[in-house]
Amino acid sequence: MFKFEVIKICKQSGARISKFYTPSGIIETPVFMPVGTNGTVKGLSPDELAECGSQIILSNTYHLYLRPGTNIISKAKGLHNFMNWHKPILTDSGGFQVFSLSKIREISDDGVLFSSHIDGSKHYISPADAINIQKILGSDIMMAFDECTSGDAGYEKSKVALERTLKWLKICYETSNSDDQMLFPIVQGNIFKDLRIESIEKTLPFCKCGIAIGGLSVGEEKSTMYQILDCLKEYYPSNMPRYLMGVGSADCIIEGVIRGIDMFDCVLPTRIARNGTAMTSQGDLTVRNAKYKEDFSPIEEGCDCYACKNYSRAYIRHLINADEMLGGRLISIHNIRFLHRLVNEIKKAIWEDRLLDFRRDFLGNYHL
């Protein structure tokens, strides 16, 4: 039920366009995946996401396990039905959230004992538990349970986490015996090239139809992330999608595609939208600023999103400053549509064998 085929390779950059067939639909890559942590992309309906061009969304095992719980989602006959999204879904295993949100946790080679960030209650998740929860959720793509270290973790701590991630991967692989859900293993190793190479070499035997790069964009410099992606590029399998976890800025998406990445996700577009910041081809635009009080132009000229076709910066600024939820919703629509349009422009450049030229022209006008 899963198939991956490359349909175009850019002669200038080596980047590619592919089709990834899943039980819930075909995904054309490169692709950006909006994040619906709790079973919803904050503030947006499935119809609005589809109108923006979303092909697949990401939800989170940790959050859905805690609330509403697997019993409710099971009774709803899976996450697709529960949230009324009938295109592909990828579920993160919850590993990152266990390590980043839980202030109290005990880690062993068997699993993690942690306290809920909601009410402090104690919970235990093993690698097998993480997969079995995702089976109940019914996502098309399941992520392996991994230990993600912070950007400032030292070599020894990163090596221990890598070894534990590999031990957990074997358990995840043995537990994920399903034809209609695909397991993506995760490459770890922090910013250390030898650990990253060791990780990907030992991870590849467990890759059936996808591989993920985790533990980046967690505080390190972007240049460091690019160096890690450069060192991994020659090891990527050619016959499956490569997913860079937690990356969603325009510059990083372009640089990632050039380095062989097919799939991206990030909470960034909706998170900054709720704070009044819009993504544009010139860089981020803080709509709530006073200089836009009488600016009756759209967020970005030429954008075809619902917000830009119907509302002005002045109106959206008013909504944000008046704490009206519509303001954050409109900017969220724009930001997600912006990233989908960007990916479409990247694909066009790949088809025309000019992706490096596109990067030069885009980043020449893009202000970080």
> What are the catalytic residues?
92, 265
Q: Quote the radius of gyration of the chain (alpha carbons, Å).
A: 20
**Residue 88 to residue 253: CA distance in whole angstroms:** 21
**Residue 260 to residue 238: CA distance in whole angstroms:** 9
